Amino acid sequence: MKIAILDSGVHAEHPHVGAIAAGFDATGSTEDWVDRTGHGTAVAGAIRSHAPGAQLYVVKIFRGGLRTNIDIVLRGVEWALEQGVDVINLSLGTGNPEHAGRFAEWVKRGGVWVSAAGRYPGQIEGVVGVESDASLERDQWRWNGEWEVYASPYPREIPGVPRERNLSGVSFAVANVSGLIAARGWPPAR
């Protein structure tokens, strides 16, 4: 299973991440896809914990902070699809309705897209839209029978750190679902 992680890059030497199949800097601002914020590395670690045998394809779409634009994201999606990825993890979303059509064109080109529900591309038909549900464990998901899934907003556990003090948010719920799709397939069994 090949998973594209469109995020802040990945620090490949992190022990929770493991081998990276390939990487690409869609921002065009650097010559590497190394994570300098930690977000993409945490997302990769969450995915890897569910799908240890998956091939990870890193696409850096954020430079500096966790902000980007539609052209950079779609440049990253294009590269990922050229690599033949099965799952596209987009731990992001936009409320700009002008972006809906542009995303929809790319969704048709392949891969299982996983993104935040209620935003674009997560509210486009054919994209798995993810909502956070802190009552779920990391290896659980609740599926509405169509395109929306609820999952834990927590990444990997940190020994000695209470769950509530760890990072959390829809980004990690999306990552958990991407990893679970790689491990269990889509759609979920009923």
Q: Number of structural domains, the chain?
A: 1
Q: Is residue 175 part of a domain?
A: yes
What is the pLDDT confidence band of residue 190, given thresholds at 50, 70 and 90?
Answer: low
Rounded (10°) CA dihedral 178, 184, 188, 190: -150
Domain range enclosing 175: 2-184
Averaged pLDDT of the chain: 89
Instruction: Report the pLDDT averaged over residues 147-170.
Output: 84
**Does residue 61 sit within a domain?**
yes
DSSP 189: P
- The answer to whether position 37 is within a domain reads yes
For the chain, what percent of residues have pLDDT higher than 90? 62
pLDDT at residue 58 in the model: 95
Asked, for residue 94, whether it belongs to a domain, the answer is yes
- Would you state the pLDDT for residue 163? 76
Q: Is residue 189 part of a domain?
A: no
Question: What are the tens digits of pLDDT across the range 100-140?
Answer: 999 999 999 999 999 999 999 999 999 999 999 999 999 99
**Length in residues, the chain:** 190
Q: What is the spatial order of strands in the sheet that 55-60 belongs to?
A: 22-25, 55-60, 2-7, 87-90, 112-116, 127-132, 148-151, 141-143
The amino acid occupying position 164 is: E
The answer to whether the beta carbons of residues 7 and 91 sit under 8 Å apart is: yes
Is residue 45 situated within a structural domain? yes
Using CA atoms, how far apart are residues 152 and 50, in angstroms rounded to an integer?
A: 13
Kindly state whether residue 190 falls inside one of the protein's structural domains.
no
Host H or E run for residue 49:
helix 39-50
- Which H helix or E strand runs over 184? helix 170-184
| Any domain includes 127 | yes
58-103 pLDDT tens trace: 999 887 767 778 888 999 999 999 999 999 999 888 889 989 999 9
How high is the pLDDT of residue 93?
84
Q: Taking 90 as the threshold, does the pLDDT of residue 182 lie above it?
A: yes
Query: Per residue in 18-61, pLDDT tens?
Result: 899 999 999 987 778 888 888 899 999 999 999 999 999 999 98
Task: Write the CATH number for 120.
Answer: 3.40.50.200
- Of 50, 45, 47, nearest to 139 (Cα)? 50
pLDDT at 9: 82
| pLDDT value at residue 92 | 84
Q: Which of these, 145, 147, 152, 146, lies nearest to 171 by C-alpha position?
A: 152
CA angle, 170 as apex, 40 and 3 as ends, to 5°? 45
